[in-house]
């Protein structure tokens, strides 16, 4: 972060210079225009047409020309000064950031022969583009990389984007229609999306003033199914009706008109719709990218240490990292279990097995510990039949 702040400071300096230069430039050009305009008016007023210039006048004219030239030259040289500040930003970037990060990824990762990997990457990019609503770019990439994406995969993204776009335009209808048709499943998720949509529509009516009062009152019946869960919010909305004549913006209920409700509804919709459709709120690509940004500095340091101690070959780059990297709670998706015997993380092919004594070890460890058809728990040590062990899922 310190490095970013360093570059930002240089950038601020440049922006400040640009600002002062712009103001100064406008001011001097304005003064110059005013001066020349005045001179022209004086000349025209003197009615000198056809007569040769007097000595005084020609002096005034040449003074004017010199003044124009000086001002322009001064502006040009000031402008040149900004160049050095701009190049200082470039130098700050070079000084504070590593430009060479290829070394921590093995070349073979992007090998043309590894076609399957390439396809996985392309698919991740396409999914990200769909998720971001950049549908035409996603289509183009599919065509160019000859990727076949079936409609079932695209459909949820297309629908979500259509609804989100409408929400950004403050059009609630598509979102409401979607929420009503998925009401039961949304309730199972403890989602308050439908209520929030109705509330926004109600507030929208309130903003229309007293002539919308009847419509708002009749719309309030939509709150009925939510009366128990959102009693307090419904009371607030009903209370606001008292101030309809006076204008809601001048009442204690002015917070209802806050624009942040629209940003909030987009967020709620994305989160709840994604969890209902089994999609992640953030695309796998952006999660991987963010994790990479956290891991990169650590890996760069490790790489430097490995090279310094001349122990290259310690890190094979193949499906493994040289050390464990803490990515924070946000990236915890599921629990993991490491076998206490083999000190390896369990996987689908080597799952954790619970022995009848209650101790848990991996299947590989269990197989290694079988002796003469019997298994002795390495912890308690109860003797048991290996077939009695049960697979457990975290």
Beta-carbon contacts of 109 under 8 Å, excluding residues fewer than 6 positions away, are 117, 317
Specify whether the CB–CB gap between 361 and 341 falls below 8 A: yes
**Helix (DSSP H) and strand (DSSP E) numbers for the chain:** 13, 6
Q: Residues in the chain, how many? A: 394
Contact 303, 310 (CB under 8 A): no
| Interface characters, 302-341, with Zn ion (x: CB under 5 A) | ----------------------------------------
Q: Which is nearer to Zn ion, 186 or 377 (CB)?
A: 377
Closer Cβ to Zn ion, 207 or 369, answer by number: 369
Indicate the residue among 92 and 360 with the shorter CB distance to Zn ion.
Answer: 360
Query: Which residues from 192-251 bind Zn ion, rule CB under 5 A?
Result: none
The Cα angle at residue 139 between residues 176 and 275, in degrees rounded to 5: 35
Q: Does 46 bind Zn ion (CB under 5 A)?
A: no
- Which of 214/380 has CB closer to Zn ion? 380
Find out whether 372 and 382 touch, Cβ atoms under 8 Å: no
CA 185 from chain center: how many Å? 28
C-beta of 381: minimal distance to Zn ion in Å? Answer: 7
CB of 337 to Zn ion, least distance (A): 16
Q: Is 356 in the site for Zn ion (CB under 5 A)?
A: no
Q: Can you list the positions of beta strands (E) in the chain?
A: 352-354, 360-362, 370-371, 374-376, 383-384, 390-391
Q: Which of 219, 226, 262, 379 binds Zn ion (CB under 5 A)?
A: 379
Q: Which two tokens mark 74?
A: 């001064």
Strands 390-391 and 374-376: unpaired
Kindly state the smallest distance separating residue 361's Cβ from Zn ion, in Å: 9
CB of 242 or CB of 356, closer to Zn ion: 356
Output 193 or 377, the one with its CB closest to Zn ion.
Answer: 377
CB closer to Zn ion, 92 vs 375: 375
Site stretch for Zn ion (CB under 5 A), options 61-69, 175-183, 323-331, 375-383: 375-383
**Cα 198 to Cα 221: distance, rounded to the nearest angstrom:** 10
CA distance linking residue 209 with residue 282, whole number of Å: 39
Could you count the other beta carbons within 10 Å of the beta carbon of residue 274?
Answer: 16
Of 208, 380, 390, 394, the one binding Zn ion (CB under 5 A) is: 380
Q: Which distant-in-sequence residues (6+ apart) come within 8 Å of 318 by Cβ?
A: 106
Q: Exactly one of 357, 368, 390, 391 binds Zn ion (CB under 5 A); which one?
A: 357
- Sequence-separated (6 or more) residues with CB below 8 Å from residue 377: 355, 357, 359, 383, 384
- 377 makes contact with Zn ion (CB under 5 A): yes
For 99, the token pair is 């430009």
Cβ distance to Zn ion smaller for residue 204 or 359: 359
- What is the crossing angle of helices 193-207 and 231-240, to 10°? 10
For residue 381, whether the previous peptide bond is cis, meaning omega lies within 30 degrees of 0, is yes
Provide, rounded to whole angstroms, the least separation between the CB of residue 367 and Zn ion: 17
Nearest approach in angstroms of CB 377 to Zn ion is: 3
Contact window for Zn ion (CB under 5 A) among 35-43, 131-139, 301-309, 379-387: 379-387
Which of 10/364 has CB closer to Zn ion?
A: 364
**Smallest gap, in angstroms, from Cβ of residue 295 to Zn ion?**
37
Judged by CB under 5 A, the residue of 219, 359, 376, 386 near Zn ion is 359
Which residues face 245 on adjacent strands? Answer: none
Q: Toward Zn ion, which CB reaches closer, 239 or 358?
A: 358
Q: How many residues bind Zn ion (CB under 5 A)?
A: 5
Candidates 11-19, 48-56, 237-245, 378-386; binding stretch for Zn ion (CB under 5 A): 378-386
Residues that bind Zn ion (CB under 5 A): 357, 359, 377, 379-380
């Amino acid at each position: 972060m310190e490095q970013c702040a360093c570059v930002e400071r240089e950038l601020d300096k440049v922006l400040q210079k640009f600002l002062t230069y712009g103001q100064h430039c406008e001011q001097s050009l304005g003064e110059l225009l005013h001066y020349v305009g005045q001179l022209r008016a004086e000349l025209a007023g003197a009615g000198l047409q056809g007569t040769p210039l007097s000595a005084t006048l020609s002096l005034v004219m040449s003074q004017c020309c010199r003044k124009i030239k000086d001002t322009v030259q001064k502006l040009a040289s000031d402008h040149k000064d900004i160049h050095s500040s701009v190049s200082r930003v470039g130098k700050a970037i070079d000084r504070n950031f590593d430009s060479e990060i290829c070394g921590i990824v093995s070349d073979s990762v992007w090998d043309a022969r590894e076609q399957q990997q390439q396809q996985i990457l392309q698919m991740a990019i396409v999914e990200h583009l769909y998720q971001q609503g950049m549908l035409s770019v996603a289509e183009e990439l599919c065509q160019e990389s000859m990727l076949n994406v079936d409609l079932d995969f695209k459909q949820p993204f297309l629908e979500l984007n259509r609804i989100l776009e409408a929400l950004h335009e403050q059009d609630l209808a598509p979102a409401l229609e979607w929420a009503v048709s998925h009401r039961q499943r949304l309730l199972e998720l403890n989602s308050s999306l439908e209520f929030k949509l109705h509330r926004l529509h109600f507030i929208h009516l309130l903003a229309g003033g007293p002539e919308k009062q009847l419509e708002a009152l009749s719309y309030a019946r939509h709150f009925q199914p939510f009366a128990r869960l959102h009693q307090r919010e419904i009371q607030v909305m009903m209370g606001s009706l008292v101030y309809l004549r006076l204008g809601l913006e001048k009442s204690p209920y002015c917070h209802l008109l806050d624009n942040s409700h629209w940003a909030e509804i987009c967020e709620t919709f994305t989160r709840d719709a994604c969890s209902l459709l089994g999609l992640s709120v953030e695309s796998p690509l952006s999660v991987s990218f963010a994790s990479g940004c956290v891991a990169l500095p650590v890996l760069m340091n490790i790489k430097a240490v490995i090279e310094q101690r001349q122990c290259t070959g310690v890190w094979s780059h193949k499906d493994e990292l040289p050390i464990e990297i803490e990515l924070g709670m946000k990236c915890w998706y599921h629990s993991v279990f490491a076998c206490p015997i083999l000190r390896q993380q369990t996987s689908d092919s080597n799952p954790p097995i619970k022995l009848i004594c209650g101790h848990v070890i991996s299947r590989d460890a269990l197989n290694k510990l079988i002796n003469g058809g019997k298994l002795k728990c390495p912890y308690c040590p109860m003797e048991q039949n290996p077939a009695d062990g049960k697979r457990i899922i975290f």
